[in-house]
Chains A and B, each alone.
Chain A
Amino acid sequence: MKRLGREIGRAAAVLLGILSLTFVLFHWVGGDPAGRVLGAHARPELLQQLRQAYGLSRPLWAQYVDFLWSMVCFDFGRSFAGGQPVAALLLSALPRTLALTVPAFLLGSAGGLFCAALPLLCRRPGLARLFDLASAAAMSLPLLMLIIAAQYGLAYRLGLFPISGGYGLPILLLAALQLGYDYRYYRGALARHASGDYLVAAVARGLPRWRVVLRHWLANGAPSIAVRLVTAAPFLFTGSLLLENYFGLRGLGAVLVEALWAVDWPVLRAATWLVSLLFVLLHGGGDLLCRWLDPRGKPEEAEVRRG
């Protein structure tokens, strides 16, 4: 219980730090939202009225307290740029982002795990070298170049995918990009367990190969896999601006970048708060999951072992 309290306290401190930093950055380098909304021609008295309406003329400490309270209450207000409720704006773009990122995440993770496991299972160093090369290529190619080449070649020239408006090609591109990183990570994480004596023993006992892989090898690597999945999951909600723009999907990535250009403070602060909250919650959840998957990680049990 004491440990849970400590974890919650730490998470709250992280969130408070992020929110404070966001507030400082916005006021320090964010520019004048009223000027952005009303444009270069705006009359000074209108600008002043709008600053008052946004609450920007009040003392900074009052703005800060209000900001923290509205975030805690999930009251995101209205967008400066379009006037619509921020929550509705984010929710309307979320399905398009998730339709792109979730399949790509699943495909990339499964592919990365598979590619990492295959050479270790088959004990084929040549295959591993080939995958190493392919993953290095996938990681070093800029996404923009991949998009332009794939859209021109696969969609326009070969007609295999719609040029824009379809999810097939962007999902494949995002998955390919993620696969390179995932492969490297899983390979490193799983290789540690590949030479374990318990695997030799399991094979010697005559267990089927798939059972050795799933029940013993992957199960032992599960905490590492869980860590990877949990740390990558919050990015599902931030979208990919380039893919969204090039394929006409216009999800959260585009909304956030437009908000950044427009100094749309309510949208930016809501997005920052939600993503950091997700990070903290998922990382906390990931810790619990890892301890459940591998109880050796629990401090009290480590004490027992040492004792």
Chain B
Amino acid sequence: MTASRLLRLCFLASALLAGCRQGGEDDFRALHLASPPIGGLDPIRHGDQPSHRLQSHLYETLYTYDYEDRPYRLRPLLAEEFPQLQGGGRVARIRLRRGVLFHPDPCCRQRPLTAQDVVFSLRRLLDPAQASPAAWILSGKVSAVEAESDEVVRLTLAGALPELPHLLAMTATAVVQPQAVAYYGDQFDQRAVGTGPYRLLEYRPRQWLRLGAFRQGGRSAAAGVGEGRAGARGPLAEEVQVRLFAEAQPMWLHFLRGDLDLCPLPAEAAGAALSEEGRLRPEWEKKGMTLFRGSALDVTYLVFNWRDPRLRRDLKLRREIDQALDRRQAVRLFFGGLGEAAAGLIPPGLPGYRPFVAAGAAPALPLGAAPATLSLDIEATVQSRLFAEYLARALAPRGIALRIRQAETGAWMARLQRGDFQLAPMSWAADYPDSLNFLQLLYSKNAPPGPNLGAFADPRFDRLFERARLLPEGRQRQALIEEMLQQVAQQRPLLFLAHRQAAVLVQGWLQNYQYGDFTSALYAFLRLDLAAKRRLLPELLR
């Protein structure tokens, strides 16, 4: 048997084992996308971003963020309008859009969404028996959820809650059909009966999903999906096939072969795909690919334990550590260049953001803080260890020694929450696009188990935060935010390192893509240019 016959035999055998389907015209017309593995499809059951992103195509929330507007603009989705506050801001009434249909499903007769469905979904999220990782969104903030009529939902609030529309835009608050929950029981996590722009055709857990467009008469399934510059209403592609990838390499190789229409650029491939200036290399552009970069609305930082008297009082020491950090180098080393040095708490894209300005080419001179030995608590991962050693080397010339303590994630977090640490690296990704969502990291009432891990406490900061929280977007609120940021810059209870960025490569035949951390139902906005695909695909396969 010749070598080529042997190879052909191998190929045939592997194709048989793979059970490959021959892609037809429908397959060619479908969107082919990738996602990290998801926990499941039940909106309340999982707290991870990939799950929520996928679920947002199947289920809808009362509010959503506009696909195109930046900074992000909130708008009603299943709701007709923003909440009407009554009773001194303690009661929120939300009127729903009429005639929004649930997906057809064998579990029950297709019917329109009512306020009772919203009540069921929100109570389910709040139910302690459900143990939802997303219960925090409304837990302790909303004390009762009732239906006034088929079209009006009434929320009784535990206190002032100006961020309510933001909270009701989070996928965990999406509306599910009660009959489907009862019918599918344990299997509901693998089914989806919502009102989203796509309905579930097939789901192979941990492997792939197939979604089909869902349009309803008179109204796009996503209540305005595709309006504006994106073109026609409703989902633009009839079918979407989503493969779930746990590793970056297979996803990247599929993209290079044209099997995927878009792909987040893996850090390992950034060097090959991007030039020194961070642009897509010309040879990739020739293949029709486009690079999209976007801020991930997050911040990585070092937190000082404010309960430690030495750390709290010694501003010189905190500034010394701050000056020792070469943020741009850290971004190159630890994020593959996909990030931006952070000057402050607020990431780009939100009011209050300031770009980082380097002091100069030469490293800043030591400030002469008294020598100190500090402990740095990290979780036991390779990345954390590398960062800790990098930081220790940077601080050593300034007379600051670091004692690195590492622990498994659960034990590490428990130690931080107990306050048994001095310095710790941490990151925060926005729950919703609002500067106060970052400033809450320093609000004293958010001390552990809340997100203010260093237990920073300053009455002036608290007063400013509480005032800003109750104000609508505007100049007055912005002034308060600026005042808080100034205070943070002076006191340095946190040392900011970087704002991560996402880089996404898009094939030449995919239109309408726009990067967005808070985009719901992204797939509904994507359009395929089939002529371009016919032209470009053979080039990739060659």
A: residues with CB less than 8 A from B are 29-32, 34-44, 46-47, 49-50, 53, 80-85, 88, 92-93, 148, 151-152, 155-156, 158-169, 171, 244-250, 254, 261, 263
Contacts and interface: CB of A to CB of B under 8 A. Distances in A.
A11 B43 CA distance: 44
B315 interface: no
B413 interface: yes
Contact of B253 (A29, A37, A152): A152
A41 B132 CA distance: 12
Contacts of B449: 40, 42, 44, 47
Given A40-B451, A166-B20, A85 B247 contact: no
B128 A49 contact: yes
Q: Which of A161, A162, A167, A246 has the most CB of B within 10 A?
A: A162
16 contacts: A29-B408, A29-B411, A31-B409, A37-B133, A38-B132, A40-B451, A46-B128, A53-B128, A82-B45, A84-B186, A155-B253, A160-B7, A162-B14, A164-B250, A166-B17, A246-B249
Interface stretch (B238-246, B295-303, B333-341): B238-246
A15 B250 CA distance: 40
B131 interface: yes
Given A39-B136, A84-B189, A160-B7, A32 B410 contact: yes
Q: Which of A30, A31, A246, A248 has the most CB of B within 10 A?
A: A248
A249 B246 CA distance: 10
A82 B48 CA distance: 12
Given A38-B136, A44-B449, A245-B246, A81 B39 contact: yes
Contacts of B205: 92, 250
Contacts of B249: 148, 151-152, 246
Contacts of B129: 53
B414 interface: yes
Nearest to A169: B14
B89 interface: no
A88 B186 contact: yes
B128 A250 contact: no
A246 B14 contact: no
Given A35-B410, A82-B45, A248-B245, A163 B250 contact: yes
Given A49-B128, A53-B129, 11 more contacts: A29-B408, A39-B134, A46-B128, A82-B39, A151-B250, A160-B14, A161-B11, A161-B14, A164-B254, A248-B244, A261-B409
A83 B186 contact: yes
Contacts of A40: 413, 449, 451
B50 interface: no
Interface residues of B, number: 51
A163 B207 contact: no
Contacts of B288: none
Contacts of A245: 246-247
Contact of A83 (B11, B15, B45, B136): B45
A82 B189 contact: yes
Interface in B246-283: 246-247, 249-250, 253-254, 256-257, 259
Given A29-B408, A84-B189, A168 B247 contact: no
B140 interface: yes
Given A82-B189, A166-B20, A248 B207 contact: yes
B139 A43 contact: yes
B10 interface: yes
Contacts of A162: 14-15, 18, 20
Contact of B135 (A42, A88, A159): A42
Given A40-B451, A82-B40, A166-B14, A32 B254 contact: no
Contact of A250 (B40, B131, B246, B413): B246
A171 B257 CA distance: 23
Contacts, number: 149
A39 B243 contact: no
Interface in B376-420: 408-411, 413-414
Contacts of A31: 408-411, 413-414
A212 to B, nearest CB: 29
Contact of B186 (A38, A85, A163, A165): A85
Query: What 9 A-B pairs are tightest by C-beta distance, nearest first?
Result: A31-B410, A168-B14, A166-B18, A250-B206, A41-B136, A245-B246, A164-B250, A167-B17, A161-B14
B414 A32 contact: yes
Contacts of B83: none
Contacts of A165: 18, 20, 207, 243
Interface in B503-531: none
B165 interface: no
Contacts of A84: 186, 189
B134 to A, nearest CB: 8
A83 B136 CA distance: 18
B136 A42 contact: yes
Q: Which of A151, A161, A164, A171 has the most CB of B within 10 A?
A: A164
B541 to A, nearest CB: 9
A248 B260 CA distance: 15
A254 B413 contact: no
A42 B140 CA distance: 10
Contacts of A82: 39-40, 45-46, 189
Given A42-B136, A250-B37, A35 B413 contact: yes
A47 B513 CA distance: 40
A160 B409 CA distance: 41
Contacts of A44: 449
Given A84-B189, A250-B206, A36 B410 contact: yes
B13 interface: yes
A183 to B, nearest CB: 21
Contacts of B140: 43
Contacts of A244: 246
Given A41-B136, A46-B139, A248-B245, A168 B17 contact: yes
B305 to A, nearest CB: 17
Contacts of A159: 11
Nearest to A48: B128
A160 B410 contact: no
A139 to B, nearest CB: 23
